[in-house]
């Protein structure tokens, strides 16, 4: 099969995707500077740079960064969270959408609402601000990051029994999926697994996690 090129803004995602699809031909492009530069908004220089990089890929490509996802989609890449948002919309609301970076809130919220619109259902989205956990990810404390996300979501759900599904908006949050699923009876959706299931041939797909 043709290679799948993945555009990351954090190096940690390389190991994640190689583990999820060990037999697939994955090409990783890691550009942490793109996320750093996009924090204040995507200017024309960054827009052109990202667009040209994605356009130069001969085969399919996947953008794993939510912040630049809309631009990446315009340039021809698949947004990592789009297949996940489609599943969330099919489950139906209300959906708890947790995020850990301010710059991902608007694109994630818009994409989930777009998925609801395609199903014809009303969009019931409850964003959950977990930005206080982001420094743990930046420091490389992935276990602490996942634990902080898990604890915050569990606490939130105690006050929101009506929630039908949890969306972890960023690929970096995926490690919190398993501990949450072990404690919840509702679907907990994480984007890396779902995106690969959508893009790779069946022989390369991994068994999806419970609730995904």
Query: Domain with 110 in it: what CATH number?
Result: 3.40.50.1860
In a shared domain, residues 99 and 145: yes
* Predicted pLDDT at 59: 87
In a shared domain, residues 16 and 101: no
- Nearest Cα residue to 212 out of 172, 178, 171: 178
Query: What predicted TM-score, i.e. pTM, was given to this entire model?
Result: 0.84
Which residues constitute the domain of residue 98?
82-196
Q: Quick check: is 131 in a domain?
A: yes
Mean pLDDT, the chain, integer: 91
Which of 57, 79, 101 is a domain's end point? Answer: 79
In a shared domain, residues 89 and 192: yes
Q: Quick check: is 25 in a domain?
A: yes
With a cut of 90, say whether residue 144 has pLDDT above it.
Answer: yes
Q: Quick check: is 206 in a domain?
A: no
In a shared domain, residues 14 and 114: no
Which of 36, 57, 79 is a domain's end point? Answer: 79
With a cut of 80, say whether residue 139 has pLDDT above it.
Answer: yes
With a cut of 80, say whether residue 203 has pLDDT above it.
Answer: no
In a shared domain, residues 31 and 86: no
Mean pLDDT on 79-99: 95
Mean pLDDT on 139-157: 97
Quickly tell me which residue has 């996942």 as its tokens: 146
Q: Quick check: is 204 in a domain?
A: no
In a shared domain, residues 74 and 18: yes
CA distances to 45, 79, 93, 136, 188 from 144, in Å: 35, 27, 29, 6, 19
Q: What is the torsional sign of CA 61, 200, 118, 41? A: negative
Residue predicted with more confidence, 206 or 184? 184
Q: Quick check: is 212 in a domain?
A: no
Q: Quick check: is 207 in a domain?
A: no
Quote the number of domains for the chain: 2
In a shared domain, residues 45 and 143: no
In a shared domain, residues 113 and 69: no
The H or E element containing residue 63 is strand 61-63
Which of 22, 57, 79 is a domain's end point? Answer: 79
CA distance 204 to 69: 24
Q: Quick check: is 211 in a domain?
A: no
* Predicted pLDDT at 19: 92
CA distance 25 to 22: 8
What would the pLDDT profile of 7-23 be if each residue is shown by its tens digit? 999 998 999 999 999 98
Range with lowest mean pLDDT among 186-190, 198-202, 206-210 = 206-210
In a shared domain, residues 74 and 89: no
What would the pLDDT profile of 166-195 be if each residue is shown by its tens digit? 999 999 999 999 999 999 999 999 999 999
In a shared domain, residues 68 and 132: no
In a shared domain, residues 119 and 141: yes
- Model confidence at 2, in pLDDT bands (50, 70, 90)? low
In a shared domain, residues 158 and 178: yes
Token pair recorded at residue 114? 């777009």
């Amino acid at each position: 099969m043709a290679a799948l090129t993945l555009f990351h803004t954090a190096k940690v995602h390389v190991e994640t995707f190689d583990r999820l699809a060990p037999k697939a031909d994955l090409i990783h492009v890691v550009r942490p500077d793109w996320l750093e530069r996009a924090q204040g908004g995507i200017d024309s220089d960054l827009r052109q740079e990202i667009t040209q990089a994605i356009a130069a890929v001969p085969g399919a490509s996947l953008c794993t960064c939510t912040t630049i996802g809309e631009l990446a989609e315009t340039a021809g890449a698949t947004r990592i969270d789009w297949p996940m948002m489609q599943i969330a919309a099919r489950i139906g609301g209300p959906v708890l959408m947790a995020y850990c970076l301010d710059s991902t809130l608007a694109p994630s919220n818009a994409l989930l609402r777009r998925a609801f619109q395609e199903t014809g259902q009303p969009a019931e989205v409850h964003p959950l601000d977990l930005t206080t956990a982001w420094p743990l990810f930046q420091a490389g404390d992935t276990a602490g990051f996942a634990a902080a996300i898990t604890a915050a979501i569990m606490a939130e759900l105690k006050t929101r029994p009506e929630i039908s599904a949890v969306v972890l908006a960023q690929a970096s949050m995926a490690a919190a999926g398993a501990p949450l699923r072990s404690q919840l009876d509702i679907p907990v959706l994480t984007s890396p697994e779902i995106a690969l299931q959508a893009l790779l041939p069946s022989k390369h797909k991994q068994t999806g996690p419970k609730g995904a």
